[in-house]
Chains A and B, each alone.
Chain A
Amino acid sequence: MAPTVSGDELLTLYEQMAVIRRTEKAAHDLFLSGLVKGTTHLAAGHEAIAVGASAALRDDDYVFATYRGHHHALARGATPEECLAELMSRATGLCKAKGGSMHLTKASAGMLGSYAIVGAHLPMAVGAAWSARLRGTDQLAVAFFGDGATNIGAFHEALNLAAVWKLPVLFVCENNLYMEYTAIADVTAVPRPAADRAPAYGIPGETVDGNDVVLVKETVARLARRARAGDGPAVLEAETYRHYGHSRADPATYRPAEEVERWLKHDPLDIARGRLDRLGVSATAIDAADERATAVVQAAVDAAKAAPAPDPAEALTDVWADGGSAWRT
């Protein structure tokens, strides 16, 4: 197949993935040094899905993600500095330090939120796609979710409603083989938890190598064209792997060593690097992209560390549209 991504474009995608990888590493290190509280659900290893899909989307499309959503926020245009500041509870955080790691949101970039109740955001994406239809635009809504969400009722309600209303929404499952601590295969009746269920709702269900940014971009672009043309929703199951455990409390010792080794060798950055090499992009150019990514994330860490804590008065703002939180007279 003729390449659909040029060397220059792929280098850009590579650099975005490199920024995400380094931001996740920084989040990990900052957590260990006590500067990130609560928990984090790192997406290192999943970069190609966020970056590939975003490359196939328009700026006015809508994206909904899960608590493992750092990569989607970054791919949609949030900066490492505002994301890390949010994780570090700084006033300059993406959500004014009211959201935290699990709720990174950048509405101005169409990143309409990261939701920490598994599966809850799939119906919201259906609603955003419905809204696009009602307003007569050809915007698309995309819900990124994990394999675990496929066993939640909201997944099934969302797929059915999207199908019967024939809405422009893509359901993109990041199947990293584990539903938190348990292998998804042990708790699911079909081998492909998302793609195998799609036909039951009259929706196409496809799988893709979620660690290959080019394949992800091409597949999402094709399904997006179809949805924009009025042919309805689709389910894409992107196969990938977590480099870290489910969350910071999880060393992921339940994963067989051989499996971990195999997947770490199938790294999205390495795969992209191989493709860049075949496209004739020099190692020097790729190394320069890596260096830029390192510098951007280091500067982000420094800036976030230097940023102030939020004013406690901010705790009582932003409940209502008038900015306040008054519930009584």
Chain B
Amino acid sequence: MADLTDAQEADAQRQITYREAVAEGIAREMRRDPAVVCLGEDIGEAGGVFKTTSGLFKEFGPGRVWDTPISEQAIVGAAMGAAMTGMRPVAEIMFSDFLACCWDYLANEIPKVRYMTGGQVTVPLVVRTANGGGLGFGAQHSQATENWAFTVPGLKIAAPSTPADVIGMMASAIRSDDPVVFFEHKGLFASKGPPAPPDHVVELGKAAVVREGADITLVALASMVPVALTAADRLAREGIEAEVVDLRCLVPLDVSTVLASLDKTSRLTIVEENPYQGGWGATLVSVVADEGFGLLDAPVRRVAGECVPLPFADALEERVIPTVDKVVSAVRELAAY
């Protein structure tokens, strides 16, 4: 038994948290490119309110890691100006709900400047933000807001679900010559996974088939990926094999991987944390209806958040956002169709 314990400990040591992966992903890019700089509230010596920038200030100093006032417009606006003039800024907006405070930059300035200048200006910046619910932060600190960005042409949208993907996608996001909104999920910060190998890069817009199955396709994003995987395990005990696709990005949207999976399974359920109203799943479903209708043997289902503000109490929050039970019951229904 001693050997087994040692092996388990060695495994545990090889795991890193999602939270650590954020800082590691940024640090790797800061080491390789002096144009990468960070700015945001409490990101310096404090290491960020979620400790996602822990260690950066110590390694890179105040010339690369800049604490800002509580001024979301100035943070994102300054990042934009710096990106237009030779830098690769990584701006943190503490909670994704606060993106609304600088929405002009996300909706009107950053995504449009290249287009409306006829391609004269490039804006290589990353706006990172802690997204999503499940932690009882209440209605103004819990929203899954990636759909806000999804409505605006000109923004790339990353939302990783594992520590290795955080690092690989952070590399792609920071190296991208286009603006990227990078959603880190609050509910995943403490989760662990295998570390990323050196020089790990995950191309933006490549979904991952994280579980294979022939009966139904579950498409999920960020914190909904582990929910979908757990649901798939339970469904497997009932004889239903679900294929789970981690979308990883909303823009570029990897429709090909979803259609390829449907070619095998013929059934689709989308698991999204955001409210059903206006969710990204609706766009994906519309593309599938357009281009993959012939692949389907059943209606599609969207397990999404209810269209209410996120409530505070656990029991209420669970009622509102997707859970394993809700996914299992939706899939059961669909498998029997």
Binding site for B on A (CB under 8 A): 62, 64, 93-100, 103, 105-108, 112-113, 115, 117, 120-132, 134-135, 141, 153-154, 157-158, 160-161, 164-165, 317-321, 323, 325-329
CB distance B74 to A128 under 8 Å? no
Considering the complex, give the chain A residue whose CB is closest to the CB of B37. A134
CB distance B74 to A161 under 8 Å? yes
Bound Cα distance from A124 to B178, whole angstroms: 17
CB distance B78 to A161 under 8 Å? yes
* A-B CB contacts (within 8 Å), total count: 166
The contact of B153 among A112, A117, A325, by CB within 8 Å, is A325
6 A-B pairs within 8 Å (CB atoms) are namely A105-B117, A108-B120, A113-B117, A123-B78, A126-B77, A126-B78
The contact of B74 among A93, A97, A113, A157, by CB within 8 Å, is A157
Q: Which residues of A contact B59 (CB under 8 A)?
A: none
**B111-153 contact mask (Cβ, 8 Å, vs A): 1 or 0:** 0011111111110100000000000000000000000000001
* Interface members, chain B 259-294 (any A CB < 8 Å): 287
CB distance B253 to A135 under 8 Å? no
Is B329 interfacial (CB-CB < 8 Å)? no
Least Cβ–Cβ distance between A323 and chain B, in angstroms: 7
Bound Cα distance from A64 to B81, whole angstroms: 10
Bound Cα distance from A127 to B117, whole angstroms: 19
Is B197 interfacial (CB-CB < 8 Å)? no
Binding site for A on B (CB under 8 A): 37, 63, 66, 68-69, 71, 73-74, 76-87, 89, 104-105, 108-109, 113-122, 124, 153-154, 176-178, 205, 251-257, 287
CB distance A131 to B104 under 8 Å? no
CB distance A98 to B116 under 8 Å? yes
Considering the complex, give the chain B residue whose CB is closest to the CB of A325. B153
The contact of B80 among A124, A153, A157, by CB within 8 Å, is A124
Q: Which of A98, A124, A157 has the most CB of B within 10 A?
A: A124
Least Cβ–Cβ distance between A186 and chain B, in angstroms: 25
Known: A120-B77, A123-B74. A321 touches B84 (CB 8 A): no
Q: Which residues of A contact B66 (CB under 8 A)?
A: 165
Known: A112-B121, A318-B119, A326-B252. A126 touches B81 (CB 8 A): yes
CB distance A328 to B252 under 8 Å? yes
Known: A62-B85, A107-B120, A120-B108. A327 touches B113 (CB 8 A): no
Least Cβ–Cβ distance between A171 and chain B, in angstroms: 13
Known: A161-B68, A321-B122, A321-B177. A125 touches B252 (CB 8 A): no
Q: Which residues of B contact A161 (CB under 8 A)?
A: 68-69, 71, 74, 78
CB distance A120 to B109 under 8 Å? yes
Q: Which residues of B contact A121 (CB under 8 A)?
A: 77, 109
Q: Which residues of B contact A93 (CB under 8 A)?
A: 118
The contact of A128 among B82, B118, B177, by CB within 8 Å, is B82
Known: A95-B116, A95-B117, A320-B178. A134 touches B63 (CB 8 A): yes
The contact of A123 among B73, B113, B116, B254, by CB within 8 Å, is B73
CB distance A128 to B71 under 8 Å? no
Considering the complex of A and B, which 5 residue pairs feature the smallest CB-CB distances, nearest first? Answer: A127-B81, A123-B77, A96-B118, A321-B177, A127-B78
CB distance B86 to A158 under 8 Å? no
Considering the complex, give the chain A residue whose CB is closest to the CB of B74. A157
CB distance A96 to B119 under 8 Å? yes
Least Cβ–Cβ distance between A57 and chain B, in angstroms: 15
The contact of A157 among B71, B154, B252, by CB within 8 Å, is B71
CB distance A130 to B78 under 8 Å? yes
CB distance A154 to B153 under 8 Å? no
The contact of A141 among B37, B81, B124, by CB within 8 Å, is B81
Considering the complex, give the chain A residue whose CB is closest to the CB of B70. A157
CB distance B86 to A124 under 8 Å? no
Considering the complex, give the chain A residue whose CB is closest to the CB of B122. A321
Bound Cα distance from A64 to B117, whole angstroms: 13
CB distance A123 to B115 under 8 Å? no
Least Cβ–Cβ distance between B98 and chain A, in angstroms: 13
Considering the complex, give the chain B residue whose CB is closest to the CB of A102. B116
Q: Which residues of B contact A321 (CB under 8 A)?
A: 114, 122, 124, 176-178
Least Cβ–Cβ distance between B194 and chain A, in angstroms: 26
Q: Which residues of A contact B124 (CB under 8 A)?
A: 321
Known: A113-B113, A327-B153. A130 touches B69 (CB 8 A): no
Bound Cα distance from A326 to B287, whole angstroms: 14
Known: A117-B108, A321-B122, A328-B255. A131 touches B82 (CB 8 A): yes
Considering the complex, give the chain A residue whose CB is closest to the CB of B177. A321
The contact of A319 among B79, B80, B154, by CB within 8 Å, is B154
Considering the complex, give the chain A residue whose CB is closest to the CB of B124. A321
The contact of A98 among B118, B154, B176, B178, by CB within 8 Å, is B118
Q: Which of A103, A106, A123, A326 has the most CB of B within 10 A?
A: A123
Least Cβ–Cβ distance between B128 and chain A, in angstroms: 17
Q: Which residues of B contact A130 (CB under 8 A)?
A: 78, 81-82, 87
Least Cβ–Cβ distance between A222 and chain B, in angstroms: 24
Least Cβ–Cβ distance between B155 and chain A, in angstroms: 10
CB distance A154 to B74 under 8 Å? yes
Q: Which residues of B contact A158 (CB under 8 A)?
A: 73-74, 77-78
Considering the complex, give the chain A residue whose CB is closest to the CB of B78. A127
Considering the complex, give the chain A residue whose CB is closest to the CB of B72. A157
Bound Cα distance from A321 to B110, whole angstroms: 13
Bound Cα distance from A124 to B74, whole angstroms: 8
